[in-house]
């Protein structure tokens, strides 16, 4: 029963895993805030979800998009921006596709036909259109206009929201392209149209459009400093951190209580999990969704009976150790030297002594304030530490790696 085909764990990236844990705040934000407010014509900012590699940014918004799609909403696929590419082309193509979902190509208004044609040109030429284009014909304005048309069509329908998901936004390294993209999306989000209300009055309302941007925390610097206040007013940023043990355990409860349904050779069957096995998976992955999937996958393969045992988890994890190490090293290697040094010094101190004073001392600074900016970045931008009293690690896998034998059990 426990085969590669029935294994519900999926450590690969860019999927929505069957065994889902936590992120309830973000899912609730979409269900209870973003979607209903945009549908009701109320202003609501776009969302930017950032986080260190493997924390589940793409999976989270893919899941939101899948949910939206099931509800009948018009959604773009996850638009992954490859490094160094022209994001405008990709987004233009996706907005054309949204327009298709909205039925715009069949519309008779010449305004709409023009908007479609202009975005077709952006999809072909991207940013370079700006250079050739006349005043007012910049790519962003074409994109905004078509998005507004998509929004109007959604408004007319009355039940749907159009959702755009741009992923790997940190790869948009061309300033001009980034600015055009953020303005196009931001302008569409803040656009207001007039509608008639009973009694004949006319009121202004926002369109049912929603935007999610996902990527590495480095994007915060790019968009934050270059685009400044405008970006912050139009997009609300949150940084993902590790998933807590309770949420991970809860995700495995189905295996423990009811058994996970799988298709067997002679009809469907169930795979169970010892409570100790579930607890160990939830603990050993240190809140990293990628490692959670990896631990589950390997435990599944470690035996063939209909119950995943604690011993299966142990033996499975042995096969995962190298990847677990590599995962954390990838996170650490991406960090600028100072940030990495701060983490190492912090890890070297006894947990109760992790104050900025002691850390600055350990880093060789004469003044405490010199370590301040680095600590601040690791907290607010990256979500790796928490500057409480004392400082603590939010990235529990980084902590475990730096302070113990982990990933060894
Ligand atoms: N909420 C979750 N519950 C369980 N598993 C999850 C969850 N979110 C993500 N995962 C798993 O974690 C792994 C990493 O997810 P994902 O690719 O979305 O991360 P990411 O933050 O986009 O990473 P990257 O920065 O590399 O793009 C995937 O295997 C995914 O299935
Ligand atoms: Mg991703």
Q: Which residue has the higher pLDDT, 226 or 179?
A: 179
Residues 217, 293: one domain?
Answer: no
- In a mutational test of the pocket of ligand 1, which residue from 16, 17, 82 has the highest number of ligand atoms less than 8 Å from its CB? 17
In the reported structure, the alpha carbon of residue 358 is separated from the centroid of ligand 1 by a whole-number distance in angstroms of 35
At residue 3, the pLDDT reads: 87
Last residue of a domain, one of 331, 351, 377: 331
Residue 135 has pLDDT above 70, yes or no: no
Does the pLDDT of residue 396 top 70, yes or no?
yes
Over residues 289-346, the pLDDT tens digits come to 999 999 999 999 999 899 999 999 999 999 999 999 999 999 999 999 999 999 999 9
Domain count within the chain: 3
Residue at 313 is within a domain: yes
189 and 238 in contact (C-beta within 8 Å)?
no
Q: Is residue 209 part of a domain?
A: yes
Nearest atom in ligand 1 to the alpha carbon of residue 20 is 3
Specify if 122 maps to a domain: yes
Is residue 129 pLDDT above 80, yes or no?
Answer: no
Give the pLDDT score at 123: 82
pLDDT grade for 9, boundaries at 50, 70 and 90: very high
Residue 328 CA, ligand 2 centroid: distance in Å: 16
Q: Which ligand is nearest to the CA of 61?
A: 1
Range 164-192 burial, b when 16+ CB lie within 10 A, else e? bbbbbbbbbebeebbbbbbbbbbbbbbbe
Q: How far is the CA of 64 from the centre of ligand 1 (A)?
A: 13
Give the end of a domain, one of 283, 302, 331: 331
Q: Are residues 321 and 351 in the same domain?
A: no
What's the domain range around 266? 245-331
pLDDT recorded at residue 239: 93
Res. 27 pLDDT band, cuts 50 70 90: very high
How far is the C-alpha of 345 from the C-alpha of 378, rounded, in Å? 13
* Sequence-ordered list of residues with C-beta below 8 angstroms from that of 108, at least 6 positions apart, any chain: none
137 and 52 in a common domain: yes
Answer yes or no: do 230 and 302 share one domain.
no
Any domain includes 397: yes
Instruction: For residue range 197-208, list pLDDT tens digits in order.
Output: 888 899 999 999
Q: Which ligand is nearest to the CA of 292?
A: 1
pLDDT at 380 exceeding the cut of 70: yes
Pocket of ligand 1, beta carbon within 6 A = 10-15, 17, 20-23, 51, 53-60, 216, 289-290, 292-293
- Residue 24 in this model has a pLDDT that exceeds 90: yes
Ligand 1 midpoint to CA 62 (Å)? 10
Residue 132 · residue 139 · CB < 8 Å: no
Does some domain include residue 408? no
Q: Which of 198, 217, 239 is the last residue of a domain?
A: 239
Instruction: Tell me the C-alpha distance between 252 and 272, whole Å.
Output: 10
- Residue nearest to ligand 1 atom 4, measured at CA: 20
pLDDT in the model for residue 180: 85
Residue 13: inside a domain? no
Residue 240 CA: which ligand is closest? 1
Q: Are residues 302 and 364 in the same domain?
A: no
Residue 228: the pLDDT is: 60
Angstrom distances, CA of residue 227 to CA of 80, 140, 233:
21, 15, 10
Mutate to test the pocket of ligand 1, among 12, 58, 167 (most ligand atoms within 8 A of CB): 58
CATH number of the domain enclosing 376: 1.10.10
Of the listed ligands, the closest to the CA of 51 is: 1
Ligand 1 atom at minimal distance to the Cα of residue 288 = 12
Give the domain CATH number at 213: 3.40.50.300
Question: What ligand 1 atom has the least distance to the C-alpha of 215?
Answer: 25
Structure tokens at 402: 């730096």
Q: pLDDT tens, 348-378?
A: 999 999 999 999 999 999 999 999 999 999 9
pLDDT of residue 316: 96
In this prediction, residue 127 has a pLDDT band, given cuts at 50, 70 and 90, of confident
Average pLDDT over residues 55-84: 93
Give the Cα separation of 95 and 81 in Å (integer). Answer: 15
Look at residue 133 and tell me whether its pLDDT is greater than 70: no
DSSP string, 92-133: HHHHHHHHHHTTGGG---HHHHHHHHHHHHHHHHTTHHHHHS
Give the pLDDT band of residue 223 (cuts 50, 70, 90): confident
At 393, is the secondary structure helix, strand, or coil? Answer: strand
pLDDT band at 121 (very low <50, low <70, confident <90, very high): confident
Q: What is the mean pLDDT of residues 210-225?
A: 85
Centre of ligand 2 to C-alpha 78, Å, is 10
> In the predicted model, is pLDDT for residue 389 greater than 80?
yes
Check residue 269 and report its DSSP letter: E
pLDDT of 53 reads: 92
Show the tokens assigned to 336: 């600028």
- Give yes or no: residues 396 and 318 share one domain: no
Which ligand number lies closest to the CA of residue 289? 1
Band the pLDDT of 84: cuts 50, 70, 90: confident
**In this structure, are 195 and 254 located in the same domain?**
no
What pLDDT score does 132 carry? 58
Residue 44 has pLDDT above 70, yes or no: yes
272 and 160 in a common domain = no
User: What is the position in ligand 1's atom list of the atom closest to the CA of 240?
Assistant: 21
Place of tokens 């008639």: 196
Q: Residue 61 pLDDT > 90, yes or no?
A: yes
What's the CA-to-centroid distance between 200 and ligand 2, angstroms? 48
pLDDT score for 140: 84
Q: How far, in Å, is the centroid of ligand 1 from the Cα of 393?
A: 20
- Do residues 168 and 68 share a domain? yes
Q: Provide the pLDDT for residue 157.
A: 87
226 band by pLDDT with thresholds 50, 70 and 90: low
Same-domain check for residues 321 and 371: no
Residues 64 and 196 in one domain: yes
In a domain, 39, yes or no: yes
* Ligand 1 closest atom vs CA 16: 31
> How far away, in angstroms, is 139 Cα from ligand 2 center?
26
What's the mean pLDDT when you consider all of the chain?
91
Q: How far is the CA of 168 from the centre of ligand 1 (A)?
A: 13
Counting ligand 1 atoms within 8 A of each CB, the residue from 21, 82, 241, 289 with the most, and so the one to mutate, is: 289
For residue 131, what pLDDT band results from cuts at 50, 70 and 90? Answer: low
> What confidence category does residue 119 fall into, taking pLDDT thresholds of 50, 70 and 90?
confident
Distance separating alpha carbons of residues 242 and 334, to the nearest angstrom: 18
Cα 292 to ligand 1 centre (Å): 10
- Tell me, yes or no, whether 6 lies in a domain: no
251 shares a domain with 227: no
């Amino acid at each position: 029963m426990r085969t590669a085909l029935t294994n519900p764990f999926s450590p690969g990236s860019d999927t929505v895993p069957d065994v889902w844990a936590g992120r309830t705040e973000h899912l609730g934000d979409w269900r209870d805030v973003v979607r209903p407010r945009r549908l009701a014509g109320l202003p609501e900012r776009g969302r930017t979800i950032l986080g260190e590699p493997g924390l589940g940014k793409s999976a989270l918004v893919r899941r939101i998009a899948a949910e939206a799609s099931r509800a009948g909403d018009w959604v773009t696929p996850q638009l992954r921006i490859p490094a160094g590419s022209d994001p405008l082309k990709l987004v233009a193509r996706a907005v054309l596709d949204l327009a298709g979902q909205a039925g715009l190509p069949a519309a008779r208004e010449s305004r709409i036909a023009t908007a479609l044609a202009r975005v077709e040109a952006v999809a072909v030429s991207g940013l370079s259109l700006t250079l050739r284009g006349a005043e007012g014909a910049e790519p962003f304005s074409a994109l905004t206009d078509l998005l507004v048309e998509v929004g109007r069509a959604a408004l007319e329908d009355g039940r749907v929201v159009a959702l755009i998901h741009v992923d790997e936004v940190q790869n948009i390294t061309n300033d001009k392209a980034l600015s055009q993209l953020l303005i196009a999306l931001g302008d569409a989000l803040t656009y207001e149209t007039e509608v008639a209300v009973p009694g004949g009055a006319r009121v202004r309302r926002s369109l049912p459009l929603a935007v999610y941007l996902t990527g590495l925390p480095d994007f915060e610097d790019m968009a934050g400093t270059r685009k400044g206040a405008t970006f912050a007013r139009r997009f609300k940023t949150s940084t993902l951190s590790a998933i807590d043990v309770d949420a991970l355990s809860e995700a495995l409860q189905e295996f423990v209580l009811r058994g996970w349904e799988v298709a067997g050779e002679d009809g469907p069957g169930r795979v169970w999990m010892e409570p100790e096995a579930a607890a160990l998976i939830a603990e050993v992955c240190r809140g990293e969704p990628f490692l959670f999937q990896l631990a589950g996958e390997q435990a599944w393969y470690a035996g063939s009976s209909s119950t995943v045992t604690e011993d299966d988890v142990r033996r499975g994890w042995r096969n995962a150790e190298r990847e677990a190490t590599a995962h954390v090293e990838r996170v650490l290697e991406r960090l600028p030297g100072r940030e990495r040094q701060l983490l190492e010094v912090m890890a070297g101190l006894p947990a109760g002594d992790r104050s900025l004073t002691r850390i600055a001392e350990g880093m060789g600074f004469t003044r405490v304030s010199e370590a301040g900016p680095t600590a601040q970045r690791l907290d607010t931008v990256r979500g790796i530490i928490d500057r409480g009293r004392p400082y603590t690690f939010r990235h529990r896998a980084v902590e475990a790696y730096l302070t113990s034998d982990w990933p060894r059990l």
